[in-house]
Amino acid sequence: MFADLHLHTCFSDGTFTPEELVRTAAERGLSAIALSDHDTMAGCPRARAASIEHGLDFIPACELTVDHEGRELHVLGYGLDPEQPALAAFLACCREARHDRIREMARRLLERGVDIPADSVEALAHLESPGRPHIGQALVDSGHCTSLDEAFERFLKKGRPGWAPKWRIASAEAMTLIHRAGGLAVLAHPGLYRLDDAIPSLCEAGLDGLECYHSKHSPSAAIYYRELADRHQLLVTGGSDCHGFTKGAPLIGGVKLEWNLFDIFRQRLLPSAATPAITPHPN
């Protein structure tokens, strides 16, 4: 039995619907999943219902972009109650900030003669959590680019004509928000940041765990972060960070968190959640 605790759907920058994601997870032999779309939990009710149908444990989650001492990091909030007022208000602000960024990026592209209507980009994201991949797809669909890689390289990477800064919440505020919503805060893919020196101050801010297993972590990196998690008494999590078909073959199930580690994580969630953080599969 294994878990994959970092997954995305079409409600942010993935291609799977919640139902397709859950069905694929079941087909690949997973026993538990978490849906962790960027800045939205709108897909969680559908993923929860599909998980019950397929006999999977399900954790509602969300991936937040945070600022820690001037550096961008991603924090995964697990077991969140989306109806908690402060969290609901924050996610609404995130959605508006994302729409503002899309409109600004579309404006900057138009100044360079590249006309990408913001409305068409937002439609790709179900009007929930639009981001650069959606602008990239619009650039491909309109014939301005032949691939997402080309779209990012020519227009969307930092310093390119269509790039605009992303709104970020301070890390300590994000973790307070996650805890108030009954959740646990986990640093996503720490191996991508090269900011291990920040982990002690993140712990002071309320960090609960490290995503030690990730599709872009080597086996040696996973071992290193397991040791770092133990040193700081942090929970160990892992996930594929699957975005569907946006980056080639789906990654779901390619990173498998061992069940004993998932069970430790689950036990920390259950007593703290404002609403049931786990939807267990029927016995």
Domain interval for residue 7: 2-89+169-272
Domain contains 241: yes
Domain contains 40: yes
Token readout for 227 is 């040791």
Torsion of CA 110, 116, 119, 124, to 10 degrees: -150
CATH of the domain at 66: 3.20.20.140
Instruction: Show pLDDT as tens, one digit a residue, over the chain (283 residues).
Output: 899 999 999 888 888 999 999 999 999 999 999 999 999 999 999 999 999 999 999 999 999 999 998 889 999 999 999 999 999 999 999 888 888 888 898 899 999 899 887 777 777 666 567 778 888 888 888 899 898 889 989 998 888 988 888 888 999 999 999 999 999 999 999 999 888 999 999 999 999 999 999 999 999 999 999 999 999 999 999 999 998 876 666 789 889 999 999 999 999 997 644 344 666 554 4
Token readout for 181 is 């919503």
What is the pLDDT at residue 283?
Answer: 40
**Among 258, 259, 217, 221, residue whose Cα is nearest residue 240:** 217
What is the pLDDT at residue 101?
Answer: 87
Domain contains 31: yes
Q: Are 172 and 66 in contact (CB under 8 A)?
A: no
Three-class SS of the chain: CEEEEEECCCCCCCCCCHHHHHHHHHHCCCCEEEECCECCCCCHHHHHHHHHHHCCEEEEEEEEEEEECCEEEEEEEECCCCCCHHHHHHHHHHHHHHHHHHHHHHHHHHHCCCCCCHHHHHHHCCCCCCCHHHHHHHHHHCCCCCCHHHHHHHHHCCCCCCCCCCCCEEHHHHHHHHHHCCCEEEECCHHHCCCHHHHHHHHHHCCCEEEEEECCCCHHHHHHHHHHHHHCCCEEEEECCECCCCCCCCCCCCCCEEHHHHHHHHHHHHHHCCCCCCECCCC
Domain contains 237: yes
* Cα gap 203→116, rounded to integer Å: 42
Domain contains 115: no
Domain contains 32: yes
Domain contains 112: no
Domain contains 228: yes
* Cα gap 253→11, rounded to integer Å: 20
Domain count, the chain: 1
